[in-house]
């Protein structure tokens, strides 16, 4: 999943959600309520202009990893707090090239 607007409103390239972002949304569970956007202490997210979609992650490098967005979410499992990027390990299976992250 990609967020951002590629030079539009955010003025930067889209951010690939997942391994290098502080949070990951499950688009099947997220109801687009934007409560996580409201409780984020450092405003890393913006409401998605499209209804019922997860918020846009605008400034992932500013995240404090306090988990307030996960705790405030009314739908369990809709948002997941990833570990710090510097603390994660990347493995790649030689035979298939499949990526694994811890």
pLDDT digits (tens, 9 = 90+) for 11-38: 444 444 455 688 889 989 999 999 999 9
pLDDT at 29: 93
Give me the residues paired with residue 57 across strands: 45
pLDDT at 73: 96
pTM of the model: 0.66
Q: Which domains does the chain have, with CATH numbers?
A: 2-101 (3.30.70.20)
Mean pLDDT computed over every residue of the chain: 79
Buried b (16+ CB within 10 A) or exposed e, 27-48: eeebebbebbbeebeeebbbbb
pLDDT at 83: 75
Instruction: Please state the rounded mean pLDDT for residues 45-66.
Output: 90
Above 70 in pLDDT, residue 101? Answer: no
């Amino acid at each position: 999943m990609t967020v951002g607007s590629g030079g539009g409103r955010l003025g930067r390239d889209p951010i690939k959600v997942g391994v290098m972002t502080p949070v990951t949304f499950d688009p099947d569970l997220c109801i687009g309520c934007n409560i996580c956007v409201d409780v984020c202490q450092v405003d890393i997210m913006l409401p998605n202009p499209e209804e019922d979609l997860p918020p846009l992650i605008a400034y992932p490098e500013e995240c404090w990893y306090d988990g307030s967005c996960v705790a405030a979410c009314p739908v369990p499992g809709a948002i997941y707090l990833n570990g710090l990027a510097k603390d994660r390990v990347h493995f790649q299976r030689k035979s298939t090239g499949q990526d694994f992250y811890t």
